[in-house]
Each structure stands twice: as structure tokens, then as C-alpha cells.
Structure 1
């Protein structure tokens, strides 16, 4: 019988706790969706309280920290980009939130749905990069690219809404 990769993790380890999105990546089904939902809640709260410049800095730092968190956690699990690792979803959805004109339910829901759509669909070149890159950067970059697609759509929507 094969050991469950999650049994190799401990939520008392701050690296694992963050990579698993404070435990949101352990919710099934669809851990990426649950992680993205918590990411929207945390991100929108931070954005509303501290403003866009602080949120840009948080998002950028979270990307670089996430490369380490995701790499270390994946290595500890023995599985590259296990579904329970959702820090990449946090950072991706935060990037989409940077495009919204105001923090309200509608814009946050649009950012969430667009991010999840592109993260699941993985249009070119996301799927190709996801298959080739294996480090923590590889875990993070597919979500960043999905967020870029979402960001662009939000900017287009802002013109028409």
C-alpha cells in the first residue's frame, strides 16, 4: 500500500501551513477552488485595509516566498504540485484582485471566477509550462499566467462596465 503524501506533512510546520493555504488545500473536493476562495477573502481584506501599493508589494513578495514554500512542501510530500498545495492559488487570485476597480462582492467574484476558469482550462502556454517546469517556480508560474489572463479580462470588463 502506498503512503499518502499528506501524511508526510504537519500543519504545525509553518512552511506546510502556508503552502496548504492555512489548511484550505485539505478541503475536498476541489482544493484549488477552496484555496482560491480563502485567497480572495484574505486578499480583498488586505486590499481594503492597506491599499493597492501595499497589496502589490505583498503579492510580489508572496510569489517569491511561494516558490520556496511550494518547492519545499512538494519535496516533503514526494509529489510535484500536489492538489493540496494552494499557495500558488492565493498569489494568482491576488494578482487578479489587483485589476479590480473597487473591493466589493461583484468584482471579487469576477476575479475569483476568471482566475479559476483560466487555472483549470490552462490555455496556451500555461499547460505547456506546467508540464515542463518542476521546481517551486514551476508550481507558481502556471497560476501566475492564469492570473494574467484573468487580469486582462478584468481590465477589458472595466472598459465596458
Structure 2
């Protein structure tokens, strides 16, 4: 991406509030964490999933979570595309909606689960998202823009779920 016309910007609270795409793609502000914003976004995903599921179980059912995740994925493609262009970086570290949607997907398939199981799911997902072993790294390099931002995290979520599926068979 040519960033000479649109140099990389540092996101601020004002930037997040300037456009709904920024607010969403930057995880309602969790992406502004000065250290490990992806981990902060994943922690936000975990907390929000737990709070919403416990507080409003009649609304946040597994079926509705599935719908939220699918719709959230496609809205995230748009939001990350817009925010990436406005920040001058296609996959800016402050964009954490991809981690949120992907970790909600992991939680959807493993809950109800004890805290320690959820913690191991968190660790497994963060490992695959940060290290990007094949084919995750391949997808990260091949697909750009909003789709690329969102897609590699979904693949990381599937790898974390695969680890859990293998673990449960032993």
C-alpha cells in the first residue's frame, strides 16, 4: 500500500469517534491499548461474551451469537477496510475487531466451559494469531484490505478450535 499520500496515523480517541467504522474496527477503544492491542481486543471479546451471555441469556443464545459473529464478520470487512485506509495502514495494529469476532467464534464453540478451559482457549487463539504458522501466515500475506484483516483471524480461531477438538479426544 502506498502510504505517501496517506501517511500512517496514530489513532486517538478522537479518531475512533470520527467514524462508526473506526469505533467498531478498533474494538470500542480496546485497540488503543499502548501494549499488545490485539491481546487487549481479545480480552475485551472474552469479557463482553461472558457479560452479555450471563446478563441477557435469553438474547445472547448460541444461535444469536452465531448470527452476531457472521454479521459482525462482514461488517468488520467494511470497517477494517475504511479504518485501514484512513490510518494509512491496511492492517493497523489498533484494529482489533478481527480478534473480537474470531475469539467470540472460539467461545461460541467451547462454552459453557470452566474458566481454565477458556483461559487455554485464549492462549491457543493468541498463539495462532500472533505466530501465524502456515497456512495462517500465507493468508495474512495473500489477502489484503478489510477481508485480509478479518480472514486470517478466523483461520487462527479454527486452528485454536482444532487444538481443542484434538485435546477433547484424548
Match runs of 1:64-103 below 5 Å = 64-103=74-113
Aligned with 1:83: secondary structure? coil
2:29 counterpart residue number: 23
Does the CA contact (< 8 Å) of 2:81 and 2:145 recur in 1? yes
**Any unmatched runs of 5+ in structure 1?**
none
Supply the distance in 2 between the matched residues of 1:60 and 1:108 (Cα, whole angstroms): 21
Does the CA contact (< 8 Å) of 1:101 and 1:158 recur in 2? no
Deviations 1:77-98 (A, max 9, x none): 1111000000000011111112
Q: Given the alignment, which residue of 143, 146, 153 partners 2:153?
A: 143
Supply the distance in 2 between the matched residues of 1:66 and 1:94 (Cα, whole angstroms): 13
Supply the distance in 1 between the matched residues of 2:130 and 2:16 (Cα, whole angstroms): 27
Tell me whether 1:112 sits opposite 2:122 in the alignment: yes
- Alpha-carbon offset, residue 43 of structure 1: 1.9
Q: TM-score, normalised by structure 1?
A: 0.89
Does the CA contact (< 8 Å) of 1:99 and 1:155 recur in 2? no
Supply the distance in 2 between the matched residues of 1:10 and 1:102 (Cα, whole angstroms): 33
How many residues are matched? 159
Could you say what the CA RMSD is over the residues aligned between the two structures, in angstroms?
Answer: 1.9
Does the CA contact (< 8 Å) of 2:31 and 2:96 recur in 1? yes
Q: TM-score, normalised by structure 2?
A: 0.85
**Any unmatched runs of 5+ in structure 2?**
1-6
